[in-house]
Amino acid sequence: MEAQVDPVEGVWQRVFAADPATFDLSTARARLADVRLLYSRVAAREASFTTAISRLEREPSSAPGPPDETAGERSEPSPADRLPPESCREADRRRLRSKWLARCELFATALGDGRVSPQLVDALAAVLDGVARTEPGVVADLLADEAALVEVASCATPDGFRAVLRRRIDQIRGDLGQAVLERQRKASKASTWIDRDDGMYLLRVALDPDRGQALFAAIAQRIGELRNQPSATVRSEGELRLQAVLELIAGTASVVAEVLVVVDERTVREGPHDHSMCETEAGVPLPIGLGIELCATAKITTAVIGVDGRAAGMTCAARTASRPQRRALRALYRSCAFPGCTTPLTECVMHHVIHWEHGGPTAVENLLPLCIDHHQLVHDGGWNVTIDPRRTLRWYRPDGTLDRTTPLRPLADQLGFHPVHQRPVGRSDAEQPDQERGPPRLFGPDAA
């Protein structure tokens, strides 16, 4: 009878027998996918071994016996002795992962076959462990349909899956997230101390999302005002932030903070539903009741976004995107628009798809949030991106080859997913049909 060959053996051969220096982009991506598959398989086995060790350490029969005086000194160190020491944080992460994979067998299987990533399992374990301490019944209800959770997790980012879990936990509780906010408020605190080694005075503040976003907005607004003031010296971001904090504490700066809360229209008009979204500008979940209350009492600036992704009345004569335009884009994107990038929109720059120097307007229809790295990839790396009226993005390599297409999806339905229509791995550039080749590069690397 012919022996079965473990498919992982073939993946292992492809990863370690190839020379990355000879790869083209498609091959490099394919080998990276192989590495991620191996990483998931190894992480699943690591969790199994950690669980086994924990069980054996608790069993009296596994306790070490008296030393064998005839054995003498070991000539070879054990495999564990040859490994670098593990940090406490990494050990805790590994134990937490193994603890919950032992209980979530479907997730353990999905991790082993590469359908979910180790980081996503860590997100699951962190959420479940936090809830299990006080509400074990909620965890049991959540895991009652583990198969559905695995299906969601297979196409979600860790942050997106955390949002799914929090929303389902809120539905089980029936309090729309209010209990979480109350615990966060009780856990909020400020600490002050002096470092006796260097004499520095230290301040640490932990705030719930409601008050935290208001404080952060005030600091950001004051930093913007300070940056526009004339100064004889160039001040770093850290220096500006410190001055803003000190002025706000001392009361020498008068700031009316603008807080942006993203709530879907259906929730505001009809109340909570299965796909309700309510979060801060940074993407931190808020209780739906609080979001509706803020919408009822706050001064609201509307950004009218149609189902096709178009925005009206958001054109600016300046090169820099205005605050209303950033609000409109936050209603469309949670993070950098480059496929797979999770850099928050608050840390992105607004890229002109048709460049400013070539007549591109500072309008929402022509703006795209990109992180610093991917902004440089477009300007200095030779890549190009186009946008159509439905905000479908097409990303072109420096040679003009279409790399991938990313259609816009409603933010309330994204939950961290990144839909990507990518050309099949393994096809060479020469095999690409002419219609997949993009327009020639119309602007140089010095465009902005």
Place of tokens 């939950």: 415
From 188, 205, 412, select the one nearest 291 (Cα to Cα). 412
Residue 238 tokens read as 């850290």
Its sign, for the CA torsion 228, 231, 237, 239, is negative
> What is the pLDDT, as a whole number, of residue 416?
41
pTM of the model as a whole? 0.59
Q: In this prediction, what percent of the chain has a pLDDT beyond 90?
A: 17
Lowest-pLDDT choice from 221-230, 237-246, 308-317, 368-377: 308-317
pLDDT in tens, 383-403: 889 988 888 899 998 888 888
Strand-pair partners of 194: 201
Instruction: Tell me what the mean pLDDT of segment 88-104 comes to.
Output: 90
- Identify the DSSP state of 386: E
Q: What are the tens digits of pLDDT across the range 183-196? A: 889 999 999 999 98
Q: What angle do CA 429, 430, 432 make, to 5 degrees?
A: 65
What is the rounded radius of gyration, in angstroms, for the C-alpha atoms of the chain? Answer: 26
